[in-house]
Amino acid sequence: MTHMQNRVQRLRVLIAQKGMEAAVLYSRENTRYFAGFTGTESTTLITRDQCFILVDSRYTSQAGKQCPGYTVVDSTLKGLTALSEVLQEHKVGVAGVEDEAVPLSIYRKYETNSPDVRFLPLESSLSGLRSQKDADEIWRIEQAVRIADEAFESILPLIRPGVTELGIAFELETAMRRLGAEKPSFDTIVASGARGALPHGVASEKEIQAGDGIVFDFGCIYRGYCSDITRTVFVGAPDPELRHVYEVVLAAQEAAEKMLGPGVTGSEADEAARQVIAKAGYGDLFGHGLGHGVGLAIHESPRLSRTNPGRLLPGDVVTVEPGIYLPGKGGVRIEDIAVIEEAGARILTGSPKQLRILPV
């Protein structure tokens, strides 16, 4: 059985368990994962014994090549009525849909075109099917991580008072592309000075000033797979409290990485980092969860958070990213990517984590 047939097989087991006769895939991530198709628009239908991919004339030839085992349906003139025809022809009565990814306008077309089909939510379970990565997926993530590491190291000498966050983000993204990335995996965060207290401070026109801490949170896509890394560096001598906070965040991050492994729950991992931060008196200033799965999507299963009682399994790839945010002053976050293995967690991220002070 090929990788792809194995994935489709696991999806079929899931839909059967849920009493569904088919799954309709819409998101690019699930389309790529279950069908191998990389085009920008398509509808995939997987029934109990057949696979269909509906594309318009831009993609019929590409889908034919990328999706062995799939019947390619040309939807150029029919649009989504092509889906209702296949559903009817194959007597599908109950179909699972990607309830979080499908726009309401498209969902309404599913329903109006196929009044006899019951469409049920499938999304949260689908993302779980992608969480344990195979060797090829892990290799792609490793490449995406290595590119991000190298790009970061290469732009550090350009950082000095007077350059803007946007200028730095441009250099970082350009460096990642030069090293082979397809594109950034999300909007690059460069949050300097007081902006560092914004956990998601995307790069702005603000100029770097002497004494600023800078939170960099960025990543790239390599052959479809994402990396995600955060480092906080200082330009000139840091504020004494931020310097202390840096050591607390690093200790929390390392405590979590140390205890990660198969069988550990998402909430236990989160708690390991949270305890270190709370003990230091900053418990209220770490608002987000510890981490998330990474793969074809930048955020996917499993979550490392207080709300996830699920246990980690070998092959899970997760971020570990505690942070402390001091309103008006700045913030510190440190993030690695880890792959869960039988013996524990293997950290993929290579960028140094000891406190870094760049010259002014």
Positions touching Mn ion (CB under 5 A) are 228, 319
By beta-carbon proximity to Mn ion, the closer residue of 139 and 186 is 186
> What's the min distance (Å) between Cβ of 319 and Mn ion?
4
- Report the nearest approach of Mn ion to the CB of residue 168 (Å): 19
Least Å distance, CB 251 to Mn ion, is 19
Length, in residues, of the chain: 360
Q: Phi/psi class of residue 61: alpha, beta or left (left: φ > 0; alpha: ψ in -120 to 50)?
A: alpha
Fill in the amino acid letter for 134.
Answer: D
One-letter-per-residue 3-state SS of 179-234: CCCCEECCCCEEEEHHHHHCCCCECCCCECCCCCEEEEEECEEECCEECCEEEEEE
Report d(CA 23, CA 121) in Å as an integer.
Answer: 10
Our CB check for Mn ion shows the closer of 308 and 319 to be 319
Alpha-carbon distances of 194 from 120, 172, 198, 230, rounded to whole Å:
45, 21, 8, 17
**Closer of 228 and 254 to Mn ion (Cβ):** 228
Angle between helices 104-113 and 81-89 (to 10 degrees): 40
What is the closest distance, in whole angstroms, from the C-beta atom of residue 193 to Mn ion in the complex? 22
Which of 228, 316 has the CB closer to Mn ion? 228
Contacts of 303 (CB under 8 A, 6+ apart): 266, 289, 291, 292, 293
If the CB atoms of residues 228 and 257 are measured against Mn ion, the closer one turns out to be 228
Question: Closer CB to Mn ion, residue 30 or residue 319?
Answer: 319
Nearest to 297 by CA among 142, 176, 133, 127: 127
- Min dist. Cβ of residue 145 to Mn ion (A): 12
First to last CA, the chain: 58
By beta-carbon proximity to Mn ion, the closer residue of 98 and 228 is 228
Q: Return the SS3 of 298.
A: coil
Residue nearest to Mn ion (CB): 228
Cβ distance to Mn ion smaller for residue 20 or 317: 317
Q: Report the nearest approach of Mn ion to the CB of residue 338 (Å).
A: 12
* 3-class state of residue 107 by DSSP: helix
Do 208 and 192 contact (CB within 8 A), yes or no?
yes
| CB 218, min distance to Mn ion, A | 10
Query: E strands along the chain, which residues?
Result: 22-25, 43-47, 51-55, 71-74, 94-97, 118-121, 183-184, 189-192, 213-218, 220-222, 225-226, 229-235, 291-293, 300-304, 317-320, 323-326, 330-333, 336-341, 344-347, 357-358
Q: Considering beta carbons, is residue 132 or 349 the nearer one to Mn ion?
A: 349
Number of H helices, E strands in the chain: 10, 20
Of 139, 155, 211, the closest CA to residue 188 belongs to: 155
Provide, rounded to whole angstroms, the least separation between the CB of residue 248 and Mn ion. 19
Q: Smaller CB distance to Mn ion: residue 165 or 228? A: 228
Work out how close the CB of 289 gets to Mn ion at its nearest, in angstroms, rounded to a whole number. Answer: 10
CB 137 to Mn ion: min, Å:
18
